[in-house]
């Protein structure tokens, strides 16, 4: 009897330990109050800089969010940006990324809709997210990019590690870091039995070519798309979002939809 109780007690522990936080082994971005992006000795962009632009055809902006029962992948399908290169390196300022938040996607259609609601990104009100650099510095551990991130109507200065390669015909940037969504007033907690973690892993993989980004066109596209955004309500009663391909069966005693019949034809 005692052995049975001991084994039963291990089940919740096994479930909990199996749902690790994907942010555990990823560096966390430092977050502070927003600053002027030309402060701290950063040089304003000038004619000497050479610009490299990027978009969705050559780059990805994605994220991983999680809760105690598992994680979900997502990202954005519409974004643009540009880098300012001076003397063979990224200049401190003049580097910008603009994201159309209405283009958000997740690995579950209903979750995609929920993430677009005021519970999370509220894309009808906050149609874009923006990052503008203030410095690109060499540190003991590599390059650190600092700048202002505006997300969900909140602007904060963030610093994160990045790998940057500058060539004559391309600029490649990769970065992976953790943001605390609470810093940007995204406070939805989830259900009591399925809490949403505050840490979100952001991943950038960018390849830019010579040219300038068309920020105005993306701003307009985001505003137009916001009016047609389809959102989904939050799950009710502790219901969880299922990954694509899953088809959970009703539990015993679960009411059947109207018109459904039992085996043998009896309703």
- CA distance from start to end of the chain: 42
pTM of the predicted model, to two decimals?
A: 0.79
Q: What is the pLDDT of residues 1-18, one digit of tens each?
A: 555 444 444 444 444 444
- 233 pLDDT tier (thresholds 50, 70, 90): low
Q: Please state the rounded mean pLDDT for residues 202-227.
A: 97
Distance separating alpha carbons of residues 188 and 197, to the nearest angstrom: 9
42 pLDDT more than 50: no
Please give the domain boundaries of the chain with CATH numbers for all domains.
31-38+49-226 (2.40.128.110)
Closest CA to 177 of 197, 198, 161: 161
Q: In the prediction, which pLDDT does 246 show?
A: 46
Please give the structure tokens belonging to residue 149.
């991130």
Closest CA to 156 of 132, 124, 126, 125: 132
Residue with tokens 């015993």: 252
Q: In the prediction, which pLDDT does 183 show?
A: 97
- 44 pLDDT tier (thresholds 50, 70, 90): low
Q: What is the pLDDT of residues 183-204, one digit of tens each?
A: 999 999 888 767 899 999 999 9
Of all residues in the chain, the percent with pLDDT exceeding 70 is 75
Q: Please state the rounded mean pLDDT for residues 234-238.
A: 57
Between the alpha carbon of residue 218 and those of residues 59, 129, 214, the distances in Å are 16, 11, 7
Distance separating alpha carbons of residues 153 and 182, to the nearest angstrom: 13
Q: In the prediction, which pLDDT does 263 show?
A: 45
β-pairing, 190-191 vs 199-210, is: unpaired
**H/E run at residue 16:** helix 2-18
CA 93 to chain centre: 23
Q: In the prediction, which pLDDT does 265 show?
A: 45
């Amino acid at each position: 009897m005692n052995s049975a109780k001991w084994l039963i007690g291990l089940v919740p522990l096994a479930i909990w330990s199996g749902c690790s936080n994907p942010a555990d082994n990823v560096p966390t971005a430092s977050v502070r109050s927003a600053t002027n992006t030309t402060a701290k000795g950063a040089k304003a962009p000038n004619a000497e800089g050479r610009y490299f632009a990027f978009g969705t055809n050559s780059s990805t902006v994605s994220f991983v969010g999680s809760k105690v029962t598992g994680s979900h992948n997502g990202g954005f399908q519409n974004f643009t940006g540009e880098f300012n290169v001076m003397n063979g390196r990224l200049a401190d300022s003049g580097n910008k990324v603009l994201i159309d938040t209405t283009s958000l996607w997740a690995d579950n259609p209903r979750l995609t809709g929920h993430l677009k609601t005021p519970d999370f990104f509220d894309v009808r009100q906050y149609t874009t997210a923006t990052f503008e650099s203030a410095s690109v510095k060499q540190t003991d551990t590599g390059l650190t990019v600092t700048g202002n991130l505006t997300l969900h109507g909140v602007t904060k200065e963030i610093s994160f590690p990045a790998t940057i390669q500058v060539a004559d015909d391309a600029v490649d940037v990769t970065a992976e870091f953790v943001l605390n969504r609470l810093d940007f007033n995204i406070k939805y907690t989830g259900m009591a039995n399925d809490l949403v973690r505050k840490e979100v892993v952001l991943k950038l993989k960018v390849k830019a070519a010579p040219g300038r980004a068309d920020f105005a066109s993306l701003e307009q596209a985001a505003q137009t798309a916001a009016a047609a955004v389809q959102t989904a309500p939050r799950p009710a009663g502790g219901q969880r979002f299922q990954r694509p391909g899953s088809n959970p069966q009703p539990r015993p005693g679960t009411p059947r939809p109207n018109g459904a019949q039992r085996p043998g034809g009896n309703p």
